[in-house]
Amino acid sequence: DAGITQSPRHKVTETGTPVTLRCHQTENHRYMYWYRQDPGHGLRLIHYSYGVKDTDKGEVSDGYSVSRSKTEDFLLTLESATSSQTSVYFCAIRAPDTQYFGPGTRLTVL
Amino acid sequence: AQSVTQLDSHVSVSEGTPVLLRCNYSSSYSPSLFWYVQHPNKGLQLLLKYTSAATLVKGINGFEAEFKKSETSFHLTKPSAHMSDAAEYFCVVPDTGNQFYFGTGTSLTVIP
């Protein structure tokens, strides 16, 4: 158990509303990641962070932003949710060369 | 650039028979490689990892994988499937920076 929690675990929202997902870790790891999982695509990287206030884009970053103001928290924001962002979102940490994942957040955008 | 290809999107085996899940990688160097398992409605759990110490890697729940550089493969095997092995399996390769690349997954069905 890498001490990773995600909140909320489930969320239903409407198109056009902002949504923020939170990833929290208890072990002070430097690297944190946000992925989305969709059938037939595996996991695709949205954004990652390599330190407080240090972030970079992944393969599918359009429509998403992130923030990391504390080592333990990595936030993913959908500024204006769309139906194409309905997915399961996973947070991960890297320690030191292996990723460990949170339990996931299932997001439905109606 | 690094990438992985999981050659089968679905594999079905009978309980008690061997499991083979295939993964080929593309890398400009000898990489680390990982297998993760995801049970229905769960997160991803590390099954095993290769980090160049030994080409045959043993993981949890009786799984193992062999790194074959000449074939650029890292296939996952288990001698005898159990019902609890039914899950999605992902092969993963990191790049030289900070990113990890996932295969599209193999869904394993175990038939009683």
Contacts of A98 in chain B (CB under 8 A): 34, 46, 49
Q: Would you say B91 and B33 are in contact if contact means Cβ atoms under 8 Å apart?
A: yes
Q: Which two tokens stand for residue A29?
A: 């790891």
Contacts of B1 in chain A (CB under 8 A): none
Dist CA B71 CA B83 (whole Å): 30
Option in A31, A42, A98 nearest B105 (CB): A42
Phi-psi region at A35: left, alpha or beta (left = phi > 0; alpha = psi -120 to 50)? beta
Q: Could you report the per-residue pLDDT of A45-73, keeping only the tens digit for each?
A: 999 999 999 999 999 999 999 999 999 99
Q: Would you say A74 and A20 are in contact if contact means Cβ atoms under 8 Å apart?
A: no
In the predicted structure, residue A37 carries a pLDDT above the cut 90: yes
Q: Could you report the per-residue pLDDT of B82-109, keeping only the tens digit for each?
A: 999 999 999 999 987 889 999 999 999 9
DSSP annotation of A80 reads S
Average pLDDT score over residue span B58-62: 96
Dist CA B20 CA A54 (whole Å): 40
Option in A33, A58, A98 nearest B34 (CB): A98
Q: What is the pLDDT of residue A26?
A: 95
B99–A104 C-beta distance less than 8 A = no
Q: What is the mean pLDDT of chain A?
A: 95
Q: Could you report the per-residue pLDDT of A20-32, keeping only the tens digit for each?
A: 999 999 999 999 9
Dist CA A49 CA A33 (whole Å): 6
Q: Which two tokens stand for residue B3?
A: 């990438």
Percent of chain B with pLDDT over 90: 78
Report the residue of chain A nearest B48, measured CA to CA: A98
Going by C-alpha positions, the residue among A46, A31, A106 that lies closest to residue A76 is: A46
In the predicted structure, residue B28 carries a pLDDT above the cut 90: no
Q: What is the pLDDT of residue A1?
A: 57
List all residues of chain A from 34 to 63 with a beta carbon under 8 Å from chain B. Answer: 35, 40-45, 48, 50, 56, 58
Q: What is the pLDDT of residue A73?
A: 97
Amino acid at A73: D
State the nearest Cα–Cα gap between A103 and chain B, in angstroms. 5
Amino acid at A74: F
